[in-house]
Amino acid sequence: MPGIIASNTVDLTHPKVRAVAKRVLHTFLIASERAVASEAEPATYKIPSQANSAEQIFRSRFLALEPSVRQAATARVMPLVKAPKSTREQHFGDLGGLDLRLATPIVDVVKNLPFPATLKFPIGELHGLHVPTDLLHVGLVPQQSLHHLEMRIHKVRCVDECNPEWAGDDEIALGGSDTDETGDTRKLSEFRVGNSFDDGDEKVYSPPKVFTSFNMLEGSEWPKSYFVTMVLAEKDMGGLGDFLNKLVDAVKGHLLEALTTAVGGAIGSALGPLGAIIGAALGWVVGRIFEWLKSWWSDDVFPPQTVSVTLDSLASRWSGGATDSPQYVARFAAHGGTYDVTYDWRLAAA
C-alpha cells in the first residue's frame, strides 16, 4: 500500500554510502584547516584562488568571524595542521597524510588519489537505500492526483533567548536549500522572521508560509524523496546563508563524483530514487561540518536542520486521506538560545 514517510532527522544506514560520505566530510574538514592555515602562515600554506574552491568558501566564513574568535580558532587548529601523520589519520582517515602546503584545491587532490577498494560496492545496493531514524509511517487513502509538494512554516518560537553578548538585535532570518527526487539542489532565499525575541515569543504564519515546493511529476522512479535544509540565523550574520549555499554546492558535486567512483558508473542513469541518496548524504556531511566548525572555530551558529519526506506514489496521502501532514518541530540551539520552527508538508494541485 502506498504511503508517506516523514523524517525530522537525517542519517545514513547504508554502511558503504556512509563510508563514502565520511571521506567526503574529511576532504572538506581539511579544506577548512587550510583556510585557517593560509591566514596564519600565508608563506607556507597556500590555497587556491578560485572563489568556488572549498578552501575559499571556508576562508570567507573564517574572515567573517570576530578577530578574537579567529585568533582562538587559529590556536586550536594549527597544532592539528602540524601534527604527525599518525595523529592526523585519527581525524581524517586515509587523507591524514596529505600535504597541506600545496595550492591545488583539496577536492582535486583527493580525486587524483586511488579510490579505496574498501569503499566500492555494486550499484544495485543503492536501490534498497532508505532514509533512516525517527521515521513516522502513516497511512493513505488514494484520491485525486496532486502534483506538487509544499513544505510550509507555521511558526517560529523562541524557547530560550540567546545570550546577551550575542551581537546584534536578534533580527532572525530563515533560509536554506532543498534537494528533489533527481538530486537537484536549489537555494531558498532567506526571509526576515522578526527581532528582539524574548522567552516564549513566537512569530505565527497564518496561513502557513510556503518555504519551498516540489513538482512531483519530475523524475520517473518511485518512491521519491525530498529534502529541505533550514538555516536560522541573525539576518546578514556574516553571510551565513551565502556560505551554506556555496558549501552545499561544493559538497554535492564531490559527493556525486565519489559515489559514481564507488559504484563504478554514472549513478544518475542507473538509479531510481537518486534524491534519497544525495539528500541524505548531503544533509549528513553538511551537518557534521557545522559541528566541526563549532568545535574547532567556536563558530557558534545555529546548525542547519535537514528534514525529509518520502512518497510511494502520486496517490499517497496522510492518515485519513489528509493532504497535509501533522506538524513537526525542528529545533535550533546556539548562542545559549533555542528556537523551534514548526512546519508541515502539504500536497497541492499546483
CATH number at residue 203: 2.60.40
Domain that holds residue 233: 4-11+131-248+300-348
In a domain, 22, yes or no: no
Task: Tell me, yes or no, whether 196 lies in a domain.
Answer: yes
At residue 233, φ and ψ (nearest 5 deg) are: -160, 165
* Dist. CA 350–CA 348, nearest whole Å: 6
**pLDDT reading at 182 higher than 80:** yes
Q: Which residue has the cell 497535509?
A: 324
Mean pLDDT across 124-128:
68
Phi/psi of residue 158, nearest 5 degrees: -85, 105
More confident residue, 80 or 173: 80
pLDDT of residue 198: 77
More confident: 288 or 301: 288
pLDDT band at 166 (very low <50, low <70, confident <90, very high): low
pLDDT at position 138 is 40
pLDDT above 60 (res 1): no
Cα distance between residue 67 and residue 137, in whole Å: 48
* Residue-wise pLDDT tens digits, 293-322: 999 998 878 889 999 998 888 889 998 889
Count of domains in the chain? 1
* Domain assignment present for 87: no
Angle, CA 17 vertex, CA 186 and CA 178 arms, to 5°: 15
Q: Give the pLDDT score at 212.
A: 98
Contact criterion met (CB below 8 Å) for 243 and 299: no
Residue 236 included in any domain: yes
In order of 24, 187, 337, the CA distances from 200 in angstroms are: 40, 30, 12
Any domain includes 38: no
324 C-beta neighbours (distance < 10 Å), count: 15
Highest mean pLDDT among 46-60, 147-161, 179-193: 46-60
User: At residue 94, does pLDDT exceed 60?
Assistant: yes
In a domain? residue 271:
no
C-alpha to C-alpha distances, 214 to 118, 136, 179, 279, 285, nearest whole angstrom: 36, 21, 9, 14, 23
pLDDT-wise least confident of 95-104, 165-174, 227-236, 251-260:
165-174
Cell output for 55: 578552501
Retrieve residue 83's grid coordinates. 601534527
- Mean pLDDT check: name the lowest of 21-25, 94-98, 334-338: 334-338
Is residue 165 scored above 60 in pLDDT? Answer: no
Higher pLDDT, 150 or 338: 150
Q: Is 316 part of any domain?
A: yes
Give me the chain's average pLDDT, please.
Answer: 86
Q: Is the pLDDT of residue 124 over 60?
A: yes
Whether residue 245 has pLDDT greater than 80: yes
Report pLDDT digits (tens) over 9-23.
556 778 889 999 999
Tell me if 191 is assigned to some domain: yes
